[in-house]
Structure 1
Amino acid sequence: MMLCWIPSLAQDQQTEQFSFDFRGQSLSSVLQTIADKTATDMVYDPGIIEGVSVYTRIEDENVPEILRGVLQATSLDFITLSSGTVVIVKKVTDDPSYGSYSGKIVDLSTGEPLPGASVRVTNAPGGTSTGRGGRFALDNLISGSYNIVFSYVGYEPVYKTIDITPNENLREQVELKPEPVDFMPIVVTGHIPQVPMSSEGASIGHRKWRAGSRIPDALRSLSLFSGVQHGLSMADVHLQGGQQGEHRIQLDGVPVYNPFSFGKMFSAFSPYAINKVQIHKAGYDVSEGSQIAGLINLDHELSSMDDHQFLIQADPLSVNIRAEIQVLNKKDSDPALSIMAAARSNYWGVYQEPTLKGTLQQWNELDPLTTNQLVDIEQDASRYEPYKHKSKVRFYDLHLASAYDIDDYQTFSASFYLGENNVTTGLLRQAPPSDDAPRYLKAGDAYYWNNFMGQISYNHLISSRIDLETQVSFTSNRFQHNYSLNGSNDAIVPGFNNLSSESLADAPAFGEYPVDYNLLPNQRNSNRIQHLIARTDATYSFSPQFDLEVGLQADHIRSRINFTDLFYLPTLADQESVLLGNYIKGNWKRGKYWKLSLGNRLTYASAFGRIYAEPRGSIQFDQPDAGIGYWSVRFSGGLYHQFVNQFEVTNPGPTSLVPSFSIWSHEGLSKAPKAWHIGGSFNFQPADETTIKLEGFYKWQPTTYTVSYQNLLREEDINRSTLNAFAETTEMENIGAAIRFHQAVSNARLKFMLGYDFNYNRINLDTQFGRALPASWNEPHRLQVRSLWRFLSDWTAVAKWQTVWGRAWGFRQTYYNYLFFEGGGRFGDFVFTHPEDDRLAPFHQLDLSLSYQPSFDLVDMELRLDLINVLDRRNTIDWSLRPKEESNNEYKIQKRTMPGFHPSLSIQMKF
């Protein structure tokens, strides 16, 4: 047997006191540190301390007490020889007996439960994570002392030592203190370290990092995270190269099908109602459901421990109001009932923000190519000059959330959300005098979106082994679109000055037409989907090393789709279907840092009349003790299906403000959409102030749906009440990689983020173009640089640079999907058969923000100045064609651009 001897100079070990803070160091290095600092001789067998890590804090103790604190949760003890030498030995113990440890992890300042928090036993194998209600359970613990580390993204870890006696069921509530963050909401991704790691750069959101946004937006800021692409001009979100409909946006676990406002320019949620966002990307596990690309879940915020709280925020577009009340328990001071209400509304009728007003007017432009296809006029539409423009924008949303703690282990919660969004534009254009053509062209474009969501949940930690949650929810989402176009010699349009979209089904977009309105060319599109969900999830802990998750879910879905025939062939489909699903997943902890999860999900879909299996798994390893710093690696993958599908149908209207509208369907063709995922991520922290994150994925979709414009425009013999009327199956693949580098300097007063995303995407469009092409939404390369500087205690400056390059499909989608069939696909030297060759110039934008946050006795304030597009770049969104003045057979490109430089000022007060 080989012994290790650590010699030191002798001194009075019994009286002199020392302090130490050990966070995951190996026992050998800990003993060396103690010997060096206290000048103590030590002897031990290296074999008995191998693989032991130490998490403990010791303040002002002598050497014997220091060693007891370090060794108390291990199987080791020490003896002191008469010479003063300390010998580390194994403990002599009786046969083990068992107990359990369970409880709830909550936010220290709010009392809010923290689902997904990590619970790690540092001096023995085992650990777990909290369920949806923030509860955890460790069973079959051998009697003795345990060092436990509780950690969560955005919170300071808590280190506790517990003593388990025979047959004891120890329960307690653990409170985590939020770390100082630069943003809200906190964003959590799938790769969460099992042991504490600095969260520097782990979450970046909108309240302080936000720069270059006219209003706070919980979804738009997610583009800072790898694999999340947010449309440059619209609120389109794509996960890792997938279509919009291949992921689902949820609020408190409930799908919201129209998650945007202001004509799809912003998200439909009040940012001051949201506390946390969870992103599930390639390789997500079976408990999250069935979506090809992933999920984005937003949680309502219940955040104040004060009895009352009130917040008001205003910017050039909207006003936000938030109020919260706490009702305390009679027995103690902890909140028993928390209620939060938030509302947001714009005031376009009172004040029209100049930049957006100008943008709407610029985009409300008559496209001559499409107009000539729709209106029978001898005069080319390009000859008509602008005469009058009107626009109206109205949106609001209401949020209500509450939670009632029945006791420390039972919680009842409920939430409600309602949002509406109306956008209407009207345009009159005047032609040169002519006896043979109408003098005026009249166009109206109106959109209406409505969202409703309500849910109630019950969570119960039944025992140290069983955690149970049940939720019942209902969501209803409605969309209407009206487009009209007419040539006339009459410039009078009754109601034009009172532009309204209140009655889209009965009136055109820009006012009341004469009584023969129904005879005018018009397109009406509408879609409604209603979704009722009941689910139950349970976790059973067999031991600290193994737990089992199971779940049951039932869905009832109804929808209606209706197209009229100005652009597309009439389509009317009423659908009703049922989904019955269940899953089972096992989680194994091997040693201290290995974690393996394997599971399978089974779903019966009545629309397809069969059961679908979705096996998935992941493996993760964390190494906090490496000489190069902390690192963690995770691999995951599996099979994914999708049973509710979104279709982005191109809006061919010549003055269309919104380039496409979303149609939701749960009817089936021959196969359900299917995808195979492989995902990997690597987190590395070489120093406390430095974090590097790498991510890669591959997704193969042998079956996915896409819009069939041939069926929408030409196939009159197809049954117009089925999915075949507007959709077809195809296949797609995505490969991508990303890196995020975070660095803090000057005691974290100055922070940097550098990010790069690469995505390779191919979708088979053989029916339309005869080959596979990069998808129209794909952004092959995206580079971001951000900095945050707290140059004074109340002052913060943020700078953001974004570059996107490699975008194809440069022309309006109407050209590729409508004129391709209706106009022959060729205009002069321009053809629309090779969209991959129509490459847009790179997008570059620099934004600066300055925030001042003073605090007074009764109010906390934030004054914020956003300088958007400081370099005044006119970044191109897409192209259209205009005939050259000297020839009707030759055309030139006209660019539709983003706004140039514009400032924005907002004020927030919190009482």
Structure 2
Amino acid sequence: MPLVRPLYAWLVLLLAMGVGVPAALAQSEARVTLIFQGAPLAEAVEELVAATGIDLIYGAEVPGGARVYCALEEAPAEAHLRCIVREAGIDFYQLSSGTYVLTAPAARQPRRGALGGVVVDAETGEPLPFANVLLADTSTGTAAGSSGLFTLNGLLPGPHTLVASYVGYEPVRAEVMVPEGGTTRRRIALQPQIVMTDQPIVVDGLAQRLPSELLGEAALDATDFETPSGFTASDVTREASTRLGLSSRSPVADLSIQGSTTGEQRVLLDGVPIFEPTSFGRLLSAFSPLAIRRLTVHKAGFGATRGSYLGGIIEAEHAIDARSPEATLDSDPYQVNARARSGFQLGNNVRGAVLLAARSSLWDLYRPSALDASIRDWNRIDPLLAATWTTIPLSTATFTPHRHGSELGYTDLHAATRLQFGAFRTLTVSGYRGTNDIGTDLFAAGTAEPGSPDAVPLMLSRDHYAWTNEGAQARYDWLINARAFANLRVRASRYRLDHEYAMVTGTTTPDLSADEGEAILLQVLNTSPLARDLNRINETALEGTLSYSLSPGHTTDLGFSLSRVTTHFHLGGQDAPIGRGFRLLDQQEAPWFLAGSVQHRVAMTLNWSLEAGSRVTYVPERQAVYAEPRLALRYDTPTSPVGGVAARLAGGLYRQYINQFDVSTIGPSALMPSVRFWLPVGADVAPPRAYHLAAEALITPAEGWAVRGEAYIKAQPQLLELDTRALAASLDSDPVPLIGPSDGMAYGFGFELERRTERIAGRLLYGSDYAERRYPGRFNDQRIATPSTQPHRVVAAFDWKILDGLSVLTRGRGIWGRGWAFRQAYYDYLPAHNGASAYAPYSFERPDEDRLSALVEFDVGVRLEQPLGPTHLRIGLDVANVLDRANVLDWSLQPTTTDGTTQFNPVTRMLPGRSIALSVRIRY
């Protein structure tokens, strides 16, 4: 209280002297009623000052014309002022003198918007997967997803220039308006055009990025399936073997991706695994060429969302691209293909398309002479294998065929439909079934023992294969909003293989002719149990992905997969009339797998982009989680001293959870040199793993020219390999594990020069692929170059459109340095059974040093196309191996015994010589 009294006294004194508080402070306490209904700010302020007497100032930056809507009853001056400034979108502060100052607010950042949409074929409505989308005015862009959907987020509001492009289509420029804080969606339709090359795309001066997203893969379309390439039947995968980084050992071998074995890669049809993707033995792929629209091969360094495979992925897509009814019939000497497809409309908002396609072998009706002669030559009873697996002595095991019967049949059926609900939701459903039957019955007579000319060994062999591939899937894609799109798929695939084989033997006598001996052996064969191999595998899965655009240049992809695999593998048995058979092996598995993936793409600058991600897989059988981190760096520039440049550097860790193994067959059917089976990773075996590092570049020095180069290395510290000792071991011995640990490495490089104009398309390619691995129990435990190794490979292709409707297609291929010259069964079984020195000077211990001569082939095709009213006719004439070069398939050994000494001489089996085929296609 002593302090309050002096302060109170001083206040009384000041008032007595006439010194008062500021008028604004005193008057601001006055309560008044003011109503403003759309009054200009300046007018409202003047009325407030007049009514309350407050001091108030403002500058020219304050919008005096802003409209004010306020109504306060008996409120103080400052309450009225707060309402006025709030309505006008301005602010105020008060000086120490009590004067109020109105101020314009700090510049408000506009709320950003988003853009989403889909890129489609303008003629068919087919989504264009991984199309390139660029906002030219902001130098940012993205790639569409597998369903053609794209999103761009964090965009400034206002107009933007959008450029969409896709290889083989006219680029499109479109003006889009992005609302503040909102989203907009666009459906972009591209018109097909003649593909010149992967040139930089420029639209009205706006430069598009080079397609570095296409590096690391090889893409083929329907026109590529019609080119001659070592065989005179159209095929889906054969032309792929002429592309950079892709190869096949011979016309009866599978496609190899950068030195990988077939077990290290997977074939997918609309995302569904096809376990045995071959037909006609292994001469053709499993799919009708008319049913497939696109084939894409993903090479080393593929992204985390692609899956878990050691070597690569081969993806085929159904050709559902039709808006009007269409029917096509195609026939050549080997097969007949048929296709029907059409678009349709359901109501006002649902458009759809449907595809039906089928293929069937013509072997029972017509057998091309060149191939028939080769198959008869290939299907021999091998004397070394016959002596090993039967009781016939080696000295009499040289057989001469007396009767040969071959059964070659295959069919496949494709069905697919797509429903588009509006512009941004799509349901795709597809199914496939393929069947194959290959059988060989061979009756042959051997060599009589010295001194017993009437005692001629006889053998009747039967080798029959039947397998079925089935697959189905349903996938739903939708654009959630302009920031995100997603897809959900349920799929199922099934594979069934039955292999029956037997060899029965006898001996002629003076009273028994060869024909009578055959009848007796046939009766024995038909009434005896056959050795049987079988494989059953079913895989079902639920999987989905979500792509979210965080901001311009930033996109995150999330994925999941829940799958179940059931397998049953049965091999051999010794109760069949084959002499010494394989060990009886029977194994069944039914594991679950749960996998997730994340991948983030960031455009660091206009030229540089980065992809980082990982897969994570949980294996319940092992109670373990396995990660697969992956990284890719891309560079694009449309201008440089050497022209447009696109480059990619990618790598990471890759695992595989379902593994393929090949068991070499001992029967005479050369079209099926092995039986394949699949086993999932179990509790006792860790999943194999590989590390990839791949670099690839594309340079376009001038219009119509392109130069590509690639190099890769795959370190494989953990592999799984079949131990053939487990197959041939005696039942009395300790069993050897069927699958043993292995390791290996693959590396290679290649270059390609390409030239394209409206009339010509030419390619010249050189590649070198080397792969090695360790084989359990064989080859002195050393790493050996695998059969997929091709030290030198050259491909030349030239297509010339002479006139409209008349074209000439040429392909040339040369492979030097092929190892593993002998039949695969020699390396797998003979040393283990009889020792490495039993066939001196051949030991079969260094298959990489057993070299075949160069494989060189040159093929020519002519295409004549002509519209005939409502139909379109195409006639093709193909000549395979024009030069009729004698290319070697493999070697075997022929024993010759003189004075008790046996010598072994190599005998070659040759690939088909020159063959000519006429094909006809009618489209209505």
TM over 0.5: yes
Matched position secondary structure for 2:777 = helix
Q: Structure 2: which amino acid aligns with 1:877?
A: L
**Does 2:493 align with 1:470?**
no
Once the two structures are superposed, what CA deviation does each residue of 1:218-265 show, in whole Å capped at 9, x if it has no partner?
Answer: 111111222212241324122111111101100001100011111111
More divergent stretch after superposition (685-694 vs 130-139): 130-139
Deviation at 1:684, TM superposition (A): 0.6
> 1:804 and 2:815 equivalent?
yes
- Could you tell me how far 1:409 is from its partner in structure 2? 1.4
The aligned amino acid for 1:327 is F
Q: CA, structure 1 residues 398+799, in 2 after alignment: closer, same or farther (shift >3 Å)? A: same
CA offset at residue 651 of structure 1?
1.3
Does 1:896 pair with 2:906? no
1:254 matched to which residue of 2? 272
SS of the aligned residue for 1:483 comes to strand
- The sequence identity of aligned pairs, in percent, is 28
Q: Look up the match of 1:636.
A: 650
Equivalence map 1:317-356=2 (5 Å): 317-331=334-348, 336-356=351-371
Count of residue pairs brought into register by the alignment:
788
CA distance, structure 2, for counterparts of residue 327 and residue 419 of structure 1: 27
SS at match of 1:890: strand
Picking from 755, 759, 763, the partner of 1:749 is 759
Q: Distance in 2 between matches of 1:244 and 1:782?
A: 19
8 A contact 2:395–2:896 mirrored in 1: no
Residue 384 of structure 1: CA displacement?
3.2
Of 644-653 and 160-169, more deviation after overlay is shown by 160-169
Deviations 1:254-288 (A, max 9, x none): 10001111111111100110011121111111101
Instruction: Report which of the two structures shows the higher radius of gyration computed on alpha carbons.
Output: 2
Among 846, 849, 864, the residue aligned to 1:852: 864
Partner Cα separation in structure 2 for residue 742 and residue 341 of structure 1: 35
Q: Tell me which of 532, 536, 539 is aligned to 1:528.
A: 536
Matches within 5 A, 1:691-706: 691-706=706-721
Per the TM alignment, residue 395 of structure 1 is displaced from its structure 2 partner at its CA by: 0.3
**Cα deviation code 1:696-735 (max 9, x no counterpart):** 1110010011111122222757997xxx642211101011
Letter in 1 for 2:556: L
Structure 1 residues 99 and 604, CA gap change in structure 2 (3 angstroms): same
**Aligned-pair CA distance for 1:174:** 0.2
Where 2:360 maps in the other structure, the secondary structure is: strand
CA distance in structure 2 between the aligned counterparts of 1:523 and 1:804, rounded to whole angstroms: 38
**Counterpart residue identity of residue 369, structure 1:** L
Structure 1 segment 475-624 matched on structure 2, within 5 A: 475-489=493-507, 513=524, 516-518=527-529, 522-565=530-573, 566-624=580-638
Mapped partners of 1:162, 1:493: distance in 2: 83
Structure 2 residue aligned with 1:763: 773
Give ranges in structure 1 of 5+ residues lacking alignment: 1-92, 184-192, 498-507
Partner of residue 384, structure 2: 369
Distance 1:431 1:841, change over 3 A: closer
Shift of 1:364: 0.8
The residue matched to 1:361 in structure 2 has which SS? helix
SS across alignment from 2:642: coil
Which residue is equivalent to 2:287? 269
Q: What residue number does 2:460 align with?
A: 442
CA deviation profile, 1:766-802 (whole Å, cap 9, x unmatched): 6311211111232221100110111111111111110
Equivalent residue number for residue 92 of structure 2 = none
TM-score, length-scaled by structure 1: 0.83
Superposed CA deviations along residues 609-639 of structure 1, whole A, max 9, x for unmatched, are: 3110011111111001324311111111111
- 2:469 is aligned with 1:458: no
Query: Which segment drifts farther, 393-402 or 435-444?
Result: 435-444
Bigger shift: residues 198-207 or 650-659: 198-207
The alpha-carbon deviation at position 336 of structure 1 amounts to 0.8
TM-score when normalising by structure 2: 0.82
How far is 1:330 from its partner?
4.2
> How far apart are residue 568 of structure 1 and its match?
2.0
Structure 1 position 791 matched with structure 2 position 822: no
> Residue deviations 1:632-653, cap 9 Å, x none?
1111111111000001211123
Find the aligned partners of 1:492 and 1:471 in 2 and give their Cα distance: 60
Structure 1 residue 140, shift from structure 2 partner:
1.6
Query: For 1:622 and 1:173, how far apart are their aligned partners in 2?
Result: 26
Q: Does 1:309 align with 2:322?
A: no
CA distance in 1, matches of 2:715, 2:635: 26
Give the whole-Å Cα distance in 1 for the aligned partners of 2:344 and 2:829: 58
Could you tell me how far apart the structure 1 residues matched to 2:561 and 2:685 are?
A: 24
What amino acid maps onto 2:560 in structure 1? L
Alignment partner, residue 699 of structure 2:
684
Residues 440 and 491 in structure 1, CA contact (< 8 A), matched pair in contact too: no
Question: Which residue, out of 235, 245, 250, partners 2:263?
Answer: 245
8 Å CA contact 2:210, 2:646 repeated in 1: no
Question: Which whole-Å deviations, capped at 9, do the CAs of 1:158-205 have from their partners, x for residues lacking one?
Answer: 12232334234221210111222599xxxxxxxxx9446999997576
Task: Give the whole-Å Cα distance in 2 for the aligned partners of 1:182 and 1:431.
Answer: 61
SS at match of 1:206: helix
- Match for 1:760: what amino acid? Y
Rounded to whole Å, the distance in 2 between the matches of 1:469 and 1:482 is: 43
Preserved contact between residue 154 and residue 199 of structure 1 (Cα < 8 Å): no
Distance (Å, rounded) in 2 between the aligned partners of 1:493 and 1:399 = 45
Q: Indicate conservation of the 8 Å contact 1:154/1:203, yes or no.
A: no
Partner of 2:140: 126
Amino acid at match of 2:808: A
Q: Is residue 2:129 matched to residue 1:115?
A: yes
Q: Tell me the residue number matched to 1:874.
A: 886
Write out per-residue CA displacement over residues 484-532 of structure 1, whole angstroms, 9 at most, x where no aligned residue: 11112477899999xxxxxxxxxx9x977566412xxx53211110000
Answer whether contact 2:249 2:787 (CA < 8 A) is retained. no
The code of the aligned residue for 1:775 comes to T
Q: Using the alignment, how far apart are the partners of 2:110 and 2:515 within structure 1?
A: 89
| CA drift at 1:325 | 2.0
- C-alpha contact 1:126 1:590 (8 A) present in aligned 2: no
**Is contact 2:458-2:517 (8 Å) kept?**
no
Amino acid corresponding to residue 304 of structure 2 in structure 1: V
The corresponding residue for 2:61 is none
**Aligned counterpart, 1:145:** 159
Is the CA contact 1:125–1:544 (under 8 Å) kept in the aligned structure 2?
no
Q: CA deviation at 1:871?
A: 0.8
Q: Where do residues 79-98 of structure 1 align in structure 2 (5 Å cutoff)?
A: 95-98=109-112
SS in 2 for 1:258: coil
Which amino acid counterpart does residue 756 of structure 1 have in structure 2? Y
Coordinate RMSD, CA, aligned? 2.6
Counterpart in the other structure of 1:710: 725
Aligned residue identity for 1:693 = R
Seen in structure 2, the aligned counterparts of structure 1 residues 378 and 689 have a Cα distance that, compared at 3 Å, is closer
Structure 1 residue ranges, 4+ long, deviating more than 6 angstroms after superposition = 196-202, 490-497, 717-720
CA contact (8 A) 2:599 2:614 kept: yes
Structure 2: which 5+ runs fail to align? 1-106, 198-207, 574-579
Stretch deviating more after TM superposition (197-206 or 678-687): 197-206
* Residue identity opposite 1:261 in structure 2: S
Which among 848, 854, 874 is matched to residue 836 of structure 1? Answer: 848
- 1-structure distance, mates of 2:389, 2:470: 36
Task: Give 1:298's match in structure 2, choosing from 289, 292, 316.
Answer: 316
Q: 1-side partners of 2:870 and 2:860: how far apart?
A: 30
Partner secondary structure for residue 478 of structure 2 = strand
When structure 1 is superposed on structure 2, of 154-163 and 450-459 the one drifting more is 154-163
Secondary structure, aligned partner of 1:326 = strand
CA distance in 1: counterparts of 2:375 and 2:209, whole angstroms: 49
Contact 2:395–2:895 (Cα < 8 Å) also in 1: no
Query: Which amino acid counterpart does residue 400 of structure 1 have in structure 2?
Result: A
SS of the residue 1:445 aligns to: strand
**What amino acid is aligned across from residue 466 of structure 1 in structure 2?**
A
- Quickly say closer, same or farther: Cα 1:472–1:667, change in 2 above 3 A: same
* SS of structure 1 residue aligned to 2:725: helix
Structure 1 Cα separation of the partners of residues 569 and 515 of structure 2 = 30
